[in-house]
Structure 1
């Protein structure tokens, strides 16, 4: 599971500049509830993730992703890992 751990670390590093409240990040951390992100922050963050991993996250996918863990799994799936 090292690949998932590395992916988690990469994604949490991307979250850091957006993590204004310095929330401890786990698989269960929610973007709306725990991190209190608004839609603009989400869009900026999604763009950063897409650029970092050279993937495209659809609007439908974004609507289903509520936690850091779900995002890690979605990126892994999109990358074919």
Structure 2
């Protein structure tokens, strides 16, 4: 398996559009490598980015408490 992906391959790997990947690169939200004029993304960095965005699910009682506090 490849260690580095192109922007197009990274978008497919994440299940997003190319525009999103280019935006997170421009915003420096993900590490990348410049190889001449080309941008390459390490698969481990893509996995870490996706994992950092993980949101844990609530259990039913926590949802009820959250709704009561909001009202």
Which structure dedicates a bigger proportion of its chain to helix?
Answer: 1
TM-score range, shorter chain: 0.3 to 0.5
Tell which structure's C-alpha radius of gyration is larger. Answer: 2
TM-score normalised over the length of structure 2:
0.35
